[in-house]
Amino acid sequence: GAVVSQHPSWVICKSGTSVKIECRSLDFQATTMFWYRQFPKQSLMLMATSNEGSKATYEQGVEKDKFLINHASLTLSTLTVTSAHPEDSSFYICSARVPGLNTEAFFGQGTRLTVV
């Protein structure tokens, strides 16, 4: 069945460095992927919609220069947290819908980012 794979599952980085998170759709092509941030015991907050071959659409309040999204192929979207700071520490999740009408979304396992 369809699977969305995220890598890495966890990462620790120093303040000021950049971190790239990959989201891959396995066994299906995803023209659209979504990136979320989740704080402990809270809902998923949509950060941006990643569109293959075009610019991502960011939600209000999300800095596009800080959270760079690239969706270069139909199976891969990447989120780069640039110049990371401790407040960027969070759980990041991606998802992708199977193309078609009324289709479900599949979610990655998430990436725990800790900025020290």
Partner 1 sequence: AQRVTQPEKLLSVFKGAPVELKCNYSYSGSPELFWYVQYSRQRLQLLLRHISRESIKGFTADLNKGETSFHLKKPFAQEEDSAMYYCAPPSWGKLQFGAGTQVVVTP
Residue 41 touching partner 1 (CB under 8 A)? yes
**Nearest in space to 6 (alpha carbons), one of 114, 115, 106, 99:** 106
Residue recorded with tokens 């780069």:
80
List the structure tokens of 43.
């809902």
Residue 56 touching partner 1 (CB under 8 A)? no
Q: SS3 for 95?
A: strand
* Residue among 30, 56, 110, 113 that touches partner 1 (CB under 8 A): 110
Residue 58 touching partner 1 (CB under 8 A)? no
Residue 107 touching partner 1 (CB under 8 A)? yes
d(Cα 47, Cα 77) in Å, to the nearest integer?
14
Residue number with CB closer to partner 1 (82 or 105): 105
Q: Which residues bind partner 1 (CB under 8 A)?
A: 34, 41-44, 46, 49, 57, 59, 93, 95, 97, 101-105, 107-110
